[in-house]
Every structure is written in C-alpha cells, then in structure tokens.
Structure 1
Amino acid sequence: MTAAPAPPPGAAPTRIRYWVLFLLCLLAMITYMDRAANGSAKKAIMDDLGVQENDFFWVLIAFQLAYALFEIPSGWLGDTRGPRSTLLRVVLWWSFFVALTGFVGTSHLAGVYLGFTALVVIQFFFGVGEAGAFPNIAKALYNWFPAADRGFAKSVIWMSARFMGGLTPAVWILLTDKNLAELTWREAMWLFAAVAAVWALVFCLVFRNKPGEHPAVNEAERAEIDAGRVETKGAVQVPWGKLIRSRNLWAVCLMYAVTNYCWYFLMYFLPRAMQTEFATYTTTTRGKLLVALLAGCPLLIGMFGCLLGGTLSDRYIRRTGDRKWGRRLFGVIGYGGAGCCYFAAAGVKLAAPDNLFLFASFLVLMGFMNDLIMAPAWAVCQDIGRDYAATVSGAMNMFGNLVGATSTLLVTGLLMKEYPGPQGILICFTMYGVVYFLGVGAWLMIDATKPIVSDAELLAERPLAEAKP
C-alpha cells in the first residue's frame, strides 16, 4: 500500500492520526475476541480432552501469569524499539498460538497428541504474545496524539475492546451452534487466528512509529500532535530506578489491580455461570443467544463507560486545567459505583435467584461503572510515563494481572468448587464489592501532574532534548 503524498506547507492539518486510531481499535477488538473465546469454548475443549471443566482454571492461570510477566518486557521493547515492530511480533506470535489451540485433543501435528498439558503450555505462550498489545497501543497513542486528546483516544480503544469482548459469546454461538454456521470450535479458533494475521499485514503496510516518519502527515498535523511536548532525540533508556521508587507508579499499580481482581469474572466465568444458573433459558437456540448476549452485556455497555470516562476526563482538564482531579474524579466515581452494583447483584441472587433480567441489569451497570476508569487509568500512564509510557503501562498491567491471576485461582480453585451455585456467586460478589471500595482509596493517591521524569530532569540528563513550541 502506497501512502498518499503529504500536502504542501500551509495546508490544513491532515488527520492520519485517526486512521492510526482506527487500526489500533481493530487490534483491541481482536485482542479481546481471541481472549474471550476461551470462556466460550472451554466446555467443548475440555469435553474433547476428556478433562473436567473445572480444571480449565489452570489454562486461565497459565495465560494470566504469562500475560502479567511479559507486560514490562513488551513495554520496554515498545519504548526502546518502537511500537510498530513490537506489535507486529506479538500479534503474529499470538495468532500462531490461537491457531495451535485448535489442534489440542488431536494428533494431527506430526502424529504428536496435544493433551491438557499441551493446552496449558499453548495458553501460556498465547499470554506472552497478548502481553505486548495494550502497553504498545499506549505508546503508539502517546506518539500520535496530543496530550489534550489522550483520554479520548484511550477511551475509544477500550470501547472497542469491550465491544468485541462482550459480543464474542454471541459470535461464538453464531459460529458454532449446530443450527447456524456449524463450525467446530477448532475451526472457529483458526478463523480468529486468521483475522489477527490479516490485521498484522495491514498494520505493517500503514503504520509508522511517529508522525514524522509517515509521508502522509503534514507539518500542520505534526504541530498539533507535538504541542507542548518535550521531544527527545536518540535512543530511549528506561530509568528503572526512578520507576521503582515512584510512589505515583505504585499507586497506579495498586489501583489497576482492583479492576483485574474484580472484573475477570465477567470475561471468564459469567457466560458459563449464567448458562448453569439460568438453565431453563438455554433449552433453545434463541434462549442460548439471549443468555449469551446478557452475559456479554457488561462488556458491551461497558464500552460506553470507556468512551464517557475518557471524554469527560479530557473535557474536565480542558475546562479547569486540573489534570490531577481530571483523571482521579472519574476513577473514584467508577469504582464506588461498581462496588455498589456488585453488592446489589449479590442481593438479587439471594432474594430472587431466578430473576435473570434483574441480576443481569446490575452486572451490566457494574461493567459500565468499572469502565469509567479505563481511559483515565491508561491516560495516567501516558501522563506520568511520557517517553516511557509503554513501560509504565506494562508495569500497571503486569501488577494488575498478577493480582487477577490470584483472583482467578481463588474463584475457580476454591469458591466455585467449595461453594458451587448461588452461594459461591454471593461470596464472590460481596468480596468484589469490598475490593472496589479499597480501589477508591488507591485513586485518591494518584497524581497525574507528577511525571516520573520531570521536564527539568529530562533536559538536564539528555542535552539533545528540546521543547516543542
């Protein structure tokens, strides 16, 4: 694909950054589609392997552990080598392992049978690949968007991710139901892997690390993007000591751990839990689709929370000039509201256990409230990370997913086995509500106006840095 020639000097600003945003939104959608497929496919996979469905939590733990451990290395690669090459590597890597998942339970690859242990290993390496996605998306947005629009850009990214994550259970039914497309779960996995590979090809042809490297971006758009930015030249060297000593970064990591601890239930366990808790609705294809859509609605409606949180955060900052509360306020509102909704959903399950729509309604509202914090949280990483935005984002997501893996282990390995059914859900939701209120306190410790490396320190340490007008 040949890029369009740059307009002459003095022309109106080009808008190439919005095409970049569109490509990154597609990536966010593919990321969540491939991840959410595990929650929809686990029964079919485990049936083919002859393993109890409850043991699938080892697969989830393997993915989340790898996803957490490789966040910082992937972020570091994005900061030091650029998001273009890093994203190409990770997307091709994980699409290979998604495709490989389709071979478990068979001996089609060189006559070697891929059993449950192979599935766990494959999902670990799948997590290694996916770990690079969102930190490098954050870095790409830092490079391509001005500070005033970063909250909006992140909100659109997370809106796209939530949209596809919420839609995937229904898409899975449409692809694999015996009365509809009739694909096997293996064929659906191969289809998902192919979509990721095609995206990588288009991305390779279109994307560049910075606006200055893209021939279709004119000087007017570059000026809009770089307004107020401190431009650094030469290789980026991540200041590990300052990152480790940053109280602000530790507060961000603690805050994001709350989302991962409380939210993964929606991704991995809610679709199956609703099928079993409201089994009377799943006797027909129409009923299965209804339950699948309701299970996905916390993510689908959450996408509007993503958009609203980022948009309001940026608007608050533009009107007041207060970046600290512009990020913090919507985090406090979101976590407080999400905690109340989990308590309410637990109460519904206790008082009216057969009321599908009321139960789902509170979970949908919970997804919306939680997602108010997504764009401000990732925008904070750009605010305080700057040239190290991918590494800072990776640190936040690493810490969050390590805690998320603990939650997955606790929920599946203990509560769902020891207290199956409504009692287990009641315990989980009460626990999640309490944790969300702890997250409100974490947000109050975050200050988006204090970068890890200040402008003065940056200019003192790197003489080649210069402030853009």
Structure 2
Amino acid sequence: MTAAPVPDQAPTRTRYWVLFLLCLLAMITYMDRAANGSAKKAIMEDLGVGEEDFFWVLIAFQLAYAMFEIPSGWLGDTRGPRSTLLRVVLWWSLFVGLTGFVGTSYLGGVYLGFTALIVIQFFFGVGEAGAFPNIAKALYNWFPAADRGFAKSIIWMSARFMGGLTPLVWVVLTDWKIGGIHKPDADGVTTGLSWRGAMWLFASVAAVWCFVFYFVFRNKPSEHPLVNEAERAEIDVGRIEAKGPVQVPWGKLVRSRNLWAICFMYVVTNFCWYFLMYFLPRTLQTEFKKWTEEPNGRILLALLAGCPLLIGMFGCLLGGTLSDRYIRRTGDRKWGRRLFGMIGYGGAGLCYFAAAGVKLADPDNLFLFAFFLVLMGFMNDLIMAPAWAVCQDIGRDYAATVSGAMNMFGNLVGAVSTLLITGLLMKKYPGTQGILICFTMYGVVYFLGVGLWLLIDPTKPIAGDSEPASRPVQATEESETVTG
C-alpha cells in the first residue's frame, strides 16, 4: 500500500493531460464510426448497390468489434494500454482510409466492390474493439478510485459529443464551401470535399493522434517523467498493486454471475441505442422529406440526427457524477451504481414509447418526434459511466478484460441483433409502420434492462466473489472501489 501524499510538494497534474488524450481518442472513435451513417448513401450509390443493404456492412463491423473486445482487453491488461492503443488506432485508421477507395480501381487496378467494403469494415471493427477496454485500463492505472466514475463519464461525454457532431461535420465537409452551401457548377457537379476525401481526412486525424500519444502517454504514473511523488501518492493511495505480471483468472471470469449480469445488462444498450447511430440520420431524411428540399432544412436534420448523442453526453457526465456522489454520501456502492442505471433504462424505454406515439398521432411533427429521441439518448447515457465503473469495481487489475467482456457480449448480441432485426424490419416495413414496430420493441427491452440492474453487485470483485459483500471500510483496494 502506498503512503499518503508528500506534504511539502505540490502534486503535478499529468493525469489530466492523459485524460485529455483519452477523451480525444474517444471522440475519434465515434467520429470514424458515425461517418458510416452519414456516408452510406454516397458509398452505396458509387457501388451501385441499394442503400437498404448497407446494414450488412454495419453487421460486419459490429461482429468484429464484438469478437476482438476480450483479446484487446487481455493485451491491455498483460502488455499495457500504451502499445495496445497505438497498434489498434493505427490499424483502424488504415482501414478507414481504405474505405475511401471502395467503388474504384485505384489500388493496383483491383476494383473494390461491395464485398470488399464488408471486409474492410470488418477489419475496421477489429481495430476499434481495442479502444474502450484499454481506455478503462488506462483510467484504472492513472486515476484514484474516488475519481474513476467522473473520469469515465468525461470519456463517454467526449465520445457522444463527437458522435453527435459528426453528421453536421459531414454536411459541412461535403456540402459547404466558404460563403455557404455548395452550388452545382456549370456541369451540375458540386465542388465540395467528396465522401472519399472526408474518409481520408478522418483517417489522418487518427494517425496524428497516435504520433502525439506515443510521446505523451505511459502505462503507469511511475513510468512518466513528468509525474512527481506527490501526484503518484494521490493516484496510488490505498492501491494494492499486483505482484509480477498480471494473470487473468479466466475460470473466475466465466463462473462469475456478476459478470454475466453485467454482460446481459449491456446488451440492452446496444440493442436499443444503435438506431440513433446508424438509422436515425436517414430516417429523418425519408420521413420528413420536405425539410431536405432546402439547404437550411438539410442542416437542421443533420443537427437533429446528432442531438441524441450531443445531449447524451450530459447524461454520461451526470450519471458518473451522481453515482460517485451517492456513494461518497452513503457508502453504498451497490445502489450507487444500480440506481442510475435503472432510472436511465426506465426513462429511455418511456421515451421510445412516446416517440412511437408521436409518429402514430402526428406523423409530420418533426420537432416533437426528435425531442423524445433526444431525451431517450440522454436517459440511456445515464447508465454509461456506472456500467463501465462497475467493470473497474469488480475487475481491478483485470479491468480491461472485464470491460472487454461486457462490451463484447453487449455488441455481439445487442448490436448485431438490432442491426439485423432493424435492418430487415425497416426494409420490409419502410416508413411509419417499421418505426412503430422497432420503437415498441426497444421500449420493452429497456424495461427488461431495469430488472437486470438488480442482479449486478459492484461490491463483489472477480477475484473474491465468494467473499462477503459487506466489510469494514479500510484504506485498501476494497475501500478504494467504494468511492470509485
């Protein structure tokens, strides 16, 4: 156990620069992912494939994203998040760049068609799978337990901010020039940045981040030259470091009922939320066509499509902050995590029901329809920081692996099923009928999620599931997660 902070030395604040870098990574992750929803019409037109079949591309991404969560988390736990994050970000930036070549024969005369796009998106998902588990590991290493919920909420706030802003950024990059919306030239061709150019720009941003990250980040505060003893003491107070290399207890992970409850809980978010990321932008354009006839209307729809994520970022911040505050005041870590997860899921389900009701009763009411979807995004995101903080609570030295297990299961079952079900439903029942079916289904699933939170106990770590959940508060790792 480490000593208290050095009294005559002002602590450095290097951990906040680390947090800033990780927030940028979360933003880039969602920017690159959300670009698919904005670019799909242009991509499919260049490929000569119907836009309604784009969900196969999304399924390929989500399958890979789910399958490689645990391996990426294991790498972060055993080899450190620094080398793992550098590898995965460089990997996915390569495949974001390759996406810009589909529909062409630029690469050695080889034509990249729809099948190539699916393969490219699969490998893009392989890379992105490593981001959030290793962010969780980095936060575990760099932040004291009392600040981990808050730090995780800042990460998700940043991710949602960029995910929500991307549809608007995309319109600005591809439809705008200095002075306003692009006008077709004499040949009827716009002079703006093509969707390919936008993809290459996004890929380059990720590559630049890797360059900066290489020089700034270290796996632990003890390895960083700019961290003084006082800051290390602040970060490590009460922490019990693992002796020797971390050995992930796979048997305990598989047998942990707590971890299985977390995994099924996270299925709910992935099943119900991905409509906002991949289907909402185009749904608004097709269901409220009169707004697409004017440039300002297109900008409005792009902004509304991103608003559930933009407002959701405040849900991320509020959920983590309130969870930590509740635990500090009551000492009850179990309900400090559960309560805001249950409120978030219950509220999100009601919002989906309300949005379906609006579409049924007043199908042309864009603003009321969008209002309930925006509120749904906020309510869903109340659970994000508590959910990921629970993984740190029970995972500790295996935080990346536990986070990866939750994200893998959630994406594999939740995201893939909703993309497949929603994609097929929207294809078979276009328009209001498909929306009503999907939204009713999502609302029911959210209410099932409320019950799943009751099965989660953040006071039982993976390494000690058989130990009593209640014990005296001590300055050890057990008490550390009480406030984290």
Bin for the TM-score computed over the shorter chain: over 0.9
Structure 2: distance between partners of 1:157 and 1:398: 19
Quick check: 1:9–1:218 contact (8 Å CA) kept in 2?
no
1:159-198 alignment runs, 5 A limit: 159-177=157-175, 179-180=181-182, 182-198=192-208
Q: 2:331 aligns with which of 297, 317, 321?
A: 321
Aligned counterpart, 1:203: 213
Deviation at 1:454, TM superposition (A): 3.1
Letter in 1 for 2:250: W
**Alpha-carbon offset, residue 417 of structure 1:** 1.4
Q: Which residue of 1 aligns with 2:418?
A: 407
Deviations 1:177-208 (A, max 9, x none): 16348100000000000000000100000000
Give the Cα separation in 2 of the matches to 1:421 and 1:255. 30
Is 1:358 matched with 2:358? no
- The residue that corresponds to 1:60 in the other structure is 58
In structure 1, the residue matched to 2:227 is 217
Note the aligned Cα RMSD (angstroms). 1.7
Using the alignment, how far apart are the partners of 2:286 and 2:477 within structure 1? 59
Is contact 1:253-1:397 (8 Å) kept?
A: yes
In structure 2, what is the equivalent of residue 151 of structure 1? 149
Of 28, 43, 48, the match for 1:45: 43
Q: Which residue number in structure 1 is paired with residue 136 of structure 2?
A: 138
Question: Is 2:285 the partner of 1:275?
Answer: yes
Kindly state the Cα deviation for residue 125 of structure 1 after the two structures are TM-superposed: 0.1
For 1:304, the equivalent position in structure 2 comes to: 314
Report how far residue 249 of structure 1 moved.
0.2
Is 2:390 aligned against 1:392?
A: no
CA distance in 1 between partners of 2:446 and 2:334 (Å)? 20
Q: Which amino acid aligns with 2:417?
A: T
CA contact (8 A) 1:104 1:119 kept: yes
Cα distance between partner residues in 2 of 1:252 and 1:340: 22
SS of the aligned residue for 1:231 comes to: coil
The answer for the alignment partner of 1:334 in structure 2 is 344
Instruction: Give the partner amino acid of 1:11.
Output: Q
For 1:195 and 1:246, how far apart are their aligned partners in 2?
40
Task: Quote how far apart the aligned CAs of 1:10 are.
Answer: 3.2
What is the deviation of 1:226?
1.2
Structure 1 residue identity aligned to 2:416: A
Contact kept? 1:231, 1:467, Cα under 8 Å? no
The TM-score normalised by the length of structure 2 is 0.92
Distance 2:458 2:322 in 1: 15
Q: Quick one: structure 1 residues 467 and 445, their matched pair in 2 at CA, closer, same or farther if it must change by over 3 Å? A: closer
1:235 to 242, 245, 255: 245
SS of the aligned residue for 2:268 comes to helix
Indicate the residue corresponding to 2:470 in structure 1: none
Cα deviation, residue 456, structure 1? 10
- Give a deviation string over 1:226-262, Cα, whole Å, max 9, x none: 1221111211110000000000000000100000000
Structure 1: 4+ residue segments shifted above 2 A: 7-10, 178-181, 454-457, 466-469
For the residues of structure 2 that align with 1:225 and 1:361, how far apart are their CA atoms?
41
Per-residue CA deviations over 1:73-102 (Å, capped at 9, x if unaligned) read: 000000000000000000000000000000
**Displacement of 1:455 after TM fit?**
10
One-letter code of the match for 2:242?
T
**Corresponding residue for residue 226 of structure 1:** 236
Task: Indicate the residue corresponding to 1:421 in structure 2.
Answer: 431
Q: Does 1:28 align with 2:26?
A: yes
Amino acid at match of 2:137: K
Tell me which amino acid in the other structure corresponds to 2:23.
C
Q: Please say if residues 64 and 127 of structure 1, whose CA atoms lie closer than 8 Å, have aligned partners that are also in contact.
A: yes
Shift of 1:287: 0.6
How far apart, CA to CA, are the structure 1 residues paired with 2:301 and 2:465? 52
Letter in 2 for 1:412: G
Contact 1:9 1:219 in 2 (8 A): no
The whole-number CA distance in structure 2 between the counterparts of 1:15 and 1:318 is 23
Which residue identity does 2:58 align to in structure 1? L
Cα shift at 1:370: 0.2
Secondary structure of the equivalent of 1:45?
Answer: helix
Unaligned runs of 5+ in 2: 183-190, 468-475
Amino acid at match of 1:347: G
- In the alignment, which residue of structure 2 is the partner of 1:463? none
Aligned to 2:124: 126
Amino acid at match of 1:146: P
**Identical residues among aligned pairs (%):** 83
Q: Structure 1 456/263 Cα, relative in aligned 2: closer, same or farther at 3 Å?
A: closer
With normalisation by structure 1, the TM-score equals: 0.95
Shift of 1:467: 7.3
**Which residue in 1 is equivalent to 2:473?**
none
Out of 281, 300, 303, the position equivalent to 1:293 is 303
Q: Secondary structure at the match of 1:103?
A: coil
What is the rounded CA distance, in whole Å, between the counterparts of 1:36 and 1:272 in structure 2? 12
Q: What displacement does 1:9 show?
A: 8.4
Once the 2 structures are TM-superposed, how far is the Cα of residue 406 of structure 1 from its aligned partner? 1.0
Letter of the structure 2 residue corresponding to residue 237 of structure 1: Q
Residue 435 of structure 1 aligns with an amino acid whose one-letter code is V
Residues 8, 218 of structure 1: 8 Å contact kept: no
Note the alpha carbon deviations across 1:282-302, whole angstroms, 9 max, x for none. 111111010110011000000
